[in-house]
């Protein structure tokens, strides 16, 4: 699933090293993927007040913060991420439980959550099926899965514009605004993973193959994808 410019060990280091710049450099990317978009996408996906939610790949907490706002005091959010640096940033901003771990092997019991969210990280997991199987396991019967990610532009013009902006302008602006070579590399890596993204049908098929029902994908602004599915209510 991941582009091979960076190995999984050095990817972890890359996220650790850029965690302190992450919010600023992703803010530069814009594309409507800010706080309001995340909140709207999660509500569109069916997230509701009172739910107990696991946010996988919590990063600095951008999706988790939106989840907290939706589920309110009667709900709850737990964040999980492999990167020590990202978790440290999230800890400074969010008063939620944060746990170190990876999507493919979640440190939680079966059926522990009403909903599971993941933002802009499906491209980093080692395999779709092991990941969705874990999501299925930790969700209660009837539980909701919402995955937000980028979409690969369809047309050659879209791809060319995307490459120019995301593999040229954004890495350059990231280096300029942070002074960090790693921040520039992270943005190049981000483009690599986007350019080699598997088709939406492959992701939906992997969700379905792991037992999720009512799976759908909605595309926004040509570059953003929302994948939604439900664990069957009678699943054990
Ligand atoms: C692009 S950031 C997204 C952070 C946040 N969800 C957001 O919307 O801004 C990707 C995150 O995925 C995490 N990550 C990388 N590999 C992962 C894995 N195998 N399982 C879970 N998270 C992973 C990274 O540490 C990083 O925090």
Domain boundary among 196, 211, 227: 196
**CATH number of the domain encompassing residue 201:** 3.40.50.150
The CA distances from residue 162 to 3, 20, 120, 170, in Å, are 17, 25, 16, 10
- SS3 state of residue 104: coil
pLDDT at 53: 98
98 lines ligand 1 (CB under 6 A): no
Domain that holds residue 2: 1-28+153-196
Task: Say if residue 98 is in the same domain as residue 208.
Answer: yes
User: Long-range contacts of range 200-206, CB-CB < 8 Å, 24 or more positions apart?
Assistant: 200/151, 200/225, 200/227, 202/128, 203/122, 203/128, 203/147, 203/227, 206/128, 206/129, 206/132
pLDDT score, position 166 = 87
C-beta separation of 94 from 79 below 8 A: yes
Residues 23 and 77 reside in one and the same domain = no
Q: Are residues 17 and 85 in the same domain?
A: no
In this structure, are 157 and 120 located in the same domain?
no
pLDDT of residue 82: 96
11 and 115 co-located in one domain: no
> What is the per-residue burial (b if ≥16 Cβ within 10 Å, else e) of 42-78?
beebebeeebbbbbbbbbbbbbbbbbbebbeeebbbb
Same domain flag for 114 and 9: no
Condensed to tens digits (0 to 9), the pLDDT of residues 104-161 reads 999 999 999 999 999 999 999 999 999 999 999 999 999 999 999 988 888 888 888 8
Measured from the CA of 58, which atom of ligand 1 is nearest? Answer: 6
Ligand 1 center–CA 234 separation, angstroms: 31
Q: Within its chain, how far is the Cα of 216 from the centroid? A: 17
Residues 69-79 pLDDT 10s:
999 999 999 99
Contact of 200 with 229, CB cutoff 8 Å: no
First CA to last CA distance, the chain? 29
With a 6 A CB cut-off, is 121 part of the ligand 1 pocket? Answer: yes
Give yes or no for residue 21 having a pLDDT over 50.
yes
Indicate whether 102 and 169 sit together in one domain: no
State the total domains in the chain.
Answer: 2
Between the CA of 120 and the centroid of ligand 1 the distance, in Å, is 7
Domain identity same for 48 and 108: yes
Say if residue 14 is in the same domain as residue 88: no
pLDDT at 235 over 70: no
Average pLDDT, whole number, for the chain? 91
Same domain, 192 and 88: no
Is there an atom of ligand 1 within 6 Å of 166 CB? no
Its sign, for the CA torsion 173, 175, 177, 178, is positive
Structure tokens at 45: 């996906």
Residue nearest to atom 9 of ligand 1 (CA): 62
> Do 116 and 189 belong to one domain?
no
Is 62's C-beta closer than 6 angstroms to any atom of ligand 1? Answer: yes
Same domain, 106 and 212: yes
Backbone torsions φ then ψ of 50, nearest 5 degrees: 90, -10
63, pLDDT greater than 70: yes
Give yes or no for residue 128 CB within 6 A of ligand 1: no
């Amino acid at each position: 699933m991941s582009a091979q410019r960076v190995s999984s060990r050095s990817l972890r280091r890359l996220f650790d090293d850029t965690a302190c710049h992450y919010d600023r450099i992703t803010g530069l990317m814009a594309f409507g993927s800010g706080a309001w978009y995340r909140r709207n996408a999660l509500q569109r996906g069916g997230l509701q007040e009172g739910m107990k939610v696991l946010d996988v790949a919590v990063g600095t907490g951008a999706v988790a913060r939106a989840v907290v706002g939706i589920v309110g005091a009667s709900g709850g959010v737990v964040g999980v991420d492999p990167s020590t640096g990202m978790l440290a940033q999230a800890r400074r901003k969010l008063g939620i439980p944060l746990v170190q771990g990876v999507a493919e092997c979640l440190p939680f019991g079966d059926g522990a959550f009403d909903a599971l969210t993941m933002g802009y990280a499906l491209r980093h997991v080692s395999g779709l099926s092991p990941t969705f199987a874990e999501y299925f396991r930790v969700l209660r019967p009837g539980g909701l899965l919402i995955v937000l990610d980028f979409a690969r532009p369809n047309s050659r013009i879209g791809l060319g514009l995307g490459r120019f902006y995301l593999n040229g302008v954004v890495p350059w602006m990231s280096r300029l605004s942070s002074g960090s070579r790693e921040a520039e590399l992270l943005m190049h890596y981000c483009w690599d993973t986007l350019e080699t993204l598997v088709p939406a049908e492959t992701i939906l098929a992997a969700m379905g193959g792991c037992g999720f029902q009512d799976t759908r994908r909605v595309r926004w602004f040509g570059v953003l994808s929302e994948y939604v599915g439900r664990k069957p209510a009678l699943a054990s």
